[in-house]
Amino acid sequence: MRILKAAKALAESHDSVQGVTISLGSVAQQAGLTKPGLMYHFPSKEALMLGLVDHAAEDWARRLREHTGRPSQELSSFERHRAYVTVATTAEVSRADYWIFSDALYHPKLSRAWGEHLGPWFDTTGLDDRAVSLLTAARFCADGAWMSEATGVFPSEDLAAVREHALALIDAAERASDNTHLEVSE
């Protein structure tokens, strides 16, 4: 955990995402370890990056579990999406969070952790197309909100209003789903 916190701190200490350089040596120094000591836990830069992304993705899943008080499988798709919208628009985020997330886009091995930890929160199995599109729109609102806050590029002047609009999309998705179920059962 200390090593992963050190790697994230290094990413946060740079003025731009492009300036982020994470090496085994720089992380070892930041963590107060020798490079061989760090390599005992993470034998390569790839292993370190996989650990960092897994740690970040698990942190998001933990935030969602703490917010709801329950694991994803005990919640409806609508409850899971409400939790994500709320957490994504209220969480403290940094450039390092954005860098860790966006770097996974360029390295398929790194994206696995995001799907593993957050995929269950975005599951829409069994919902009709209208409900799925509304839930996806709500998630995209939340994604954009946290990314703009993390990067400082066009941050919202009123995240609460963005959150309310995204939650309204989820409410509409739930109503659409209820209406579809009523029509099918009639």
Span 173-186, mean pLDDT?
A: 69
Confidence at residue 18, expressed as pLDDT on a 0 to 100 scale:
54
CB atoms within 10 A of CB 126: 9
What are the structure tokens assigned to 25, written together?
């040596």
Rg (C-alpha) for the chain, rounded Å, is 19
pLDDT tens digits for 28-84? Answer: 998 999 999 999 999 998 899 899 899 999 999 999 999 999 999 999 999 999 999
Span 152-158, mean pLDDT?
A: 89
pLDDT tens digits for 70-108? Answer: 999 999 999 999 999 999 999 988 888 888 888 777 788
pLDDT of 153 > 80? The answer is: yes
Confidence at residue 185, expressed as pLDDT on a 0 to 100 scale:
44
Closest CA to 142 of 127, 154, 159: 159
pLDDT tens digits for 163-173? Answer: 999 999 999 99
| DSSP per-residue codes, 119-178 | GGGG--TT--HHHHHHHHHHHHHHHHHHHHHHH-SS--S-HHHHHHHHHHHHHHHHHHHH
Q: Are 108 and 46 in contact (CB under 8 A)?
A: no
pLDDT tens digits for 117-141? Answer: 999 999 999 999 999 999 999 999 9
Confidence at residue 19, expressed as pLDDT on a 0 to 100 scale:
53
Confidence at residue 41, expressed as pLDDT on a 0 to 100 scale:
93
Confidence at residue 10, expressed as pLDDT on a 0 to 100 scale:
80
Query: Looking at this protein, which amino acid is placed at residue 97?
Result: D
Q: Are 8 and 31 in contact (CB under 8 A)?
A: no
